[in-house]
Amino acid sequence: MTDREQIVDLIRQNKQFYLFSHMLPDGDSIGSLLAMGEALTAMGKEIKMYTPGHIPHKYSFLKGAELVGHTAIEGKSDWISIVLDSSDADRLSIFKEAALTSNVLVNIDHHVTNQRYGTLNLVDSEASATGEIVYTLIRELGPEITVTMAESLYVAISTDTGSFKYDNTTPFTHEVVADLLRYGLSPGTISQRIFDERPRSFYILLKEALSSLEFYQGGDIAIMTLSRDLRERSGATTDDLDGIVNYTRNIEGVELGILFYVDSAEEVKVGFRSKTLDVSDLAGRLNGGGHVRAAGCRLHGGYEEVKAQVMREALELYRELPAR
Amino acid sequence: MTDREQIVDLIRQNKQFYLFSHMLPDGDSIGSLLAMGEALTAMGKEIKMYTPGHIPHKYSFLKGAELVGHTAIEGKSDWISIVLDSSDADRLSIFKEAALTSNVLVNIDHHVTNQRYGTLNLVDSEASATGEIVYTLIRELGPEITVTMAESLYVAISTDTGSFKYDNTTPFTHEVVADLLRYGLSPGTISQRIFDERPRSFYILLKEALSSLEFYQGGDIAIMTLSRDLRERSGATTDDLDGIVNYTRNIEGVELGILFYVDSAEEVKVGFRSKTLDVSDLAGRLNGGGHVRAAGCRLHGGYEEVKAQVMREALELYRELPAR
C-alpha cells in the first residue's frame, strides 16, 4: 500500500486526531489545517488543531480559526498526529516535541525540501499548495464539501499561488478551484480581504516611500527610505511596513529593490527584493538572511553609514555578476 | 437558428473578416481580438484587425499585436465585421462608421449593458470576459489552439477578472484557464508583466494620486484627483493612469472609490470602483458605463463642477441603499 492509501485507511479507522501546521502561519498552512479539521469533524472524528503563533487577522474569518490552539501541549504516545504544510519538524516550533511523540505522524506537504519526517508521508511537490493535496484527500475520504471548507481550501491555494499568478499554478490547480467555486464562495469578497485591502495608514506610508525613491546603476537598483519618525507621523504601524518593499521590485527595469527603515539613530532595518539576483546571498554578507528573491538584515549605525555599507555590498555583487 | 449558430456558420462559409475592438484598449479587448484573429487565420481566413488607440506596452508581446491597425478606414457594404468586447458602437470611435457600414456586423461581448447593435449578437453577460466567449467559439470552430492563442485568451480572461479575484470569476472561467495552461504558457511570466510590473512613471503618478486622497461619508468614499498637467509633469503617460483608481477601493473601510482625471479645462474623466455597490448604475446616470464593480464616465465641465455633479449622484445612490 502507498503512504497515501495507508493515510486514508488510518483516518477511516480511527477516531481522534491532532492536527498541526507551521509557525508564522500563512494562508496555506491555516487553510489546509482548517479544511482538514472541518472535514474530519464532518466524518464524526474528534480533532484538536494547533499552530505556533497567532492567525493573521485577514484569515480569522475562516471557519474554525477560533478553535486553533497556540499554547504548548504535552504529546502522548498513543496519538495520531497530522502535520500540514511543514517541510521539517522544526517548523512546528513549540509543538515539535508533542507531534514527534505521536504513535503515528502523518506528514502532508508540497514543499520540495520536505524532510519526510513522518511515519507516513504524503508529499507532492507538484501541488501548488498543501491545500490542493488536502482537497484530493477530502474528495477521497468522502465528507460533503461545505462552503466553509471550500473557503479554507480556496484561501490555501490562492495565497500560495499569488491568486494563480505564480508558475506553480497548474491546470489541476484551476480544476480544483473551479470545483471549489461551485460550493458558493465569493472569490471577490475573499480576495479583497486576503490580497488587496490595506488600512489607510498603509497608503499614507506608501506615499512617503514613493517620495523617497532613488535609482542607482542606471535604474537597475531602486531604493526607498522610511524612518520610524516618518512612519509614526503617518499614523502607520510596523505591520504597514509589510509589503512596501515589494514596490521597489515591481518597477520596470529594476533588478534589485532595497528598503531602508531607520528604526533608531543606531539601527537600520534593510529589506531586499529581486527579480533574478540572489538577495539571500547579499543579506548573508550583511549578517541577515532570507529567500533568493526576498531577504533582509538589520544593521547597527546611522542611516548614511548603513546605506554606504549596503550599497558597497550591492555594487560588489553586481561586479561579480556575469555581464547582463 | 440562434445568433451563435448563425455566427459559426457565417465564419465557416466566408473568407474575409474585419475585426474591431474598443477604444482605450484593455487586456480583454486586445486578447480577444488577437486570439480571434489568429484562430481565423489558422482556418485559412483573411483578416484585418483594428482598434482605436495604441496597444499598451504590456500587451505588445501578444502574437499579432503589431498587425493591428489604428488609423481610420472607409467601410464597405460587402464587409463582414466582428466587433469584440464593445458594449455599443460608439466605443469603436474612429472605426464606428466603417463597422456600421458592413453587410453583416457580428457583435461579441460580455457587458451586461451591451446595446445589441449587431446584425448578429453573441452577448453573454455571465461570461467573465469576452475572451471566455471567444474561447468557446474557437473550440467550436475547430482550429488547433496554439500557445500564442492561449496567451491572448489568458490575458483577456485574467485581466478582466483581476487574476481571478473578482466575483465575475466562475467555475467555467477556471475550467477554461485550466485548459489554456495545457498549451504551455507561463502564468508567472505573463502575470509579472501584465499585473505587477509598472514603469517608474506609474509610481510617480501613484505618489501624486495618494497625496490627493480625500474621504467622504465617514470613510466610505475615497477620492483621488489627477490632472493632465500633473501627469505630464510626472513624466507619466495615459497608460500609467490605468490601475491607479484601484488603489481607492483597496483602502480598508472604503466602499466606493473615485478617481477624477482632469483631462482639460472642459473635460474630466471619472473612474469608479466599488466593493459591493453597483457602479455601472452610477456611471450610467452620468452617461458612462462599465461593470458592476468597475465603471467610468467622461463629463464636460471644470473640475469643481464635475466633482459636485458626481458627488451628488454618488450620495444619491447612497441614500437609495438600504441601511448598511
Per-residue pLDDT of chain B (324 residues; tens, 9 = 90+): 999 999 999 999 999 999 999 998 999 999 999 999 999 999 999 999 999 989 988 899 999 999 999 999 999 999 999 999 999 999 999 999 999 999 999 999 999 999 999 999 999 999 999 999 999 999 999 999 999 999 999 999 999 999 999 999 999 999 999 999 999 999 998 998 899 888 999 999 999 999 999 999 999 999 999 999 999 998 998 878 878 999 999 999 899 999 999 999 999 999 999 988 899 999 999 999 988 888 999 999 999 999 999 999 999 887 777 654
B58-97 residues touching A, CB cutoff 8 A: none
User: Quick check: B250 and A171 CB within 8 A?
Assistant: no
Alpha-carbon dihedral sign for residues A300, A301, A302, A306: negative
What's this model's pTM, rounded to 2 decimal places?
0.85
Residue B83 in contact with residue B97, Cβ under 8 Å? Answer: no
What are the sequence ranges of the domains in chain A? 3-196, 200-320
B209-238 residues touching A, CB cutoff 8 A: 210-211, 213, 215, 219
Give me the residue from B165, B175, B293 closest to A163, CB to CB: B165
Longest dimension (CA), chain A: 64
Taking each helix axis from N to C end, the angle separating A130-141 and A147-160, rounded to the nearest 10 degrees, works out to 150
Give me the residue from B165, B189, B253 closest to A188, CB to CB: B165
Helices (H), ranges, A71-226: 96-101, 130-141, 147-160, 171-181, 187-191, 200-211
Name the more confident of B183 and A276: B183
Residue B259 in contact with residue B245, Cβ under 8 Å? Answer: yes
Q: Which of B155, B201, B202, B207 to mutate to test the interface with A (most CBs of A within 10 A)?
A: B207
Domain A3-196 has CATH 3.40.570.10: no
Q: What is the nearest CA distance from A187 to chain B, expressed in angstroms?
A: 5
Q: Which residues of A touch B189 (CB under 8 A)?
A: 167
Q: Residue B246: closest CA among chain A residues belongs to which residue?
A: A196
SS3 helix, strand, coil % of chain B, rounded to 5? 45, 20, 35
How much is the ipTM here?
Answer: 0.85
Q: Which residues of A touch B169 (CB under 8 A)?
A: 181, 187-188
Give me the residue from A158, A188, A206 closest to B210, CB to CB: A206
Q: Which of B164, B198, B226 to mutate to test the interface with A (most CBs of A within 10 A)?
A: B164
Distance of CA B310 to the CA centre of its chain: 22
Q: What is the nearest CA distance from A197 to chain B, expressed in angstroms?
A: 5
Q: Which residues of B touch A215 (CB under 8 A)?
A: 200
Amino acid letter at B262?
V
A120-159 residues touching B, CB cutoff 8 A: 158
pLDDT (mean) for A2-8: 98
SS3 state of residue B99: helix
Q: Residue A246: closest CA among chain B residues belongs to which residue?
A: B196
User: Is 60 exceeded by the pLDDT of residue A278?
Assistant: yes
User: Is 80 exceeded by the pLDDT of residue A324?
Assistant: no
Strands A267-274 and A294-300: antiparallel
Q: Which of B157, B172, B191 to mutate to test the interface with A (most CBs of A within 10 A)?
A: B191
**Domain spanning A200-320, CATH architecture:** Roll (3.10)
User: Quick check: A207 and B211 CB within 8 A?
Assistant: yes
Q: Which residue has the cell 483621488?
A: B224
Q: What is the pLDDT of residue A322?
A: 64
Q: Which residues of B touch A153 (CB under 8 A)?
A: none
Mean per-residue pLDDT of chain A: 94
pLDDT digits 0-9 by tens, A192-221:
899 988 889 999 999 999 999 999 999 999
User: Quick check: B163 and A166 CB within 8 A?
Assistant: no
Q: Which of B60, B172, B177, B202 to mutate to test the interface with A (most CBs of A within 10 A)?
A: B177
Amino acid letter at A159?
T
The four Cα atoms B129, B134, B135, B141 give a dihedral, to 10 degrees, of: 170
Q: Is A35 on the interface with B (CB under 8 A)?
A: no
Chain length of chain A: 324
Q: Which residues of A touch B170 (CB under 8 A)?
A: 181
Q: Residue A179: closest CA among chain B residues belongs to which residue?
A: B171
Q: DSSP labels for A187-208?
A: HHHHHIIIII-B-HHHHHHHHH
Residues B126-139 as b or e (16 or more Cβ within 10 Å = b): ebbbbbbbbbebbe
Q: What is the pLDDT of residue B322?
A: 64
Q: What is the nearest CA distance from B32 to chain A, expressed in angstroms?
A: 20
Number of other residues whose CB lies within 10 A of the CB of residue B292: 17
DSSP class of A264: S
Q: Is A276 on the interface with B (CB under 8 A)?
A: no
Q: Is A191 on the interface with B (CB under 8 A)?
A: yes
Residue B101 in contact with residue B75, Cβ under 8 Å? Answer: yes
Q: Residue A219: closest CA among chain B residues belongs to which residue?
A: B200
Q: Residue B201: closest CA among chain A residues belongs to which residue?
A: A251
User: Quick check: B191 and A247 CB within 8 A?
Assistant: no
User: Quick check: A174 and B175 CB within 8 A?
Assistant: yes
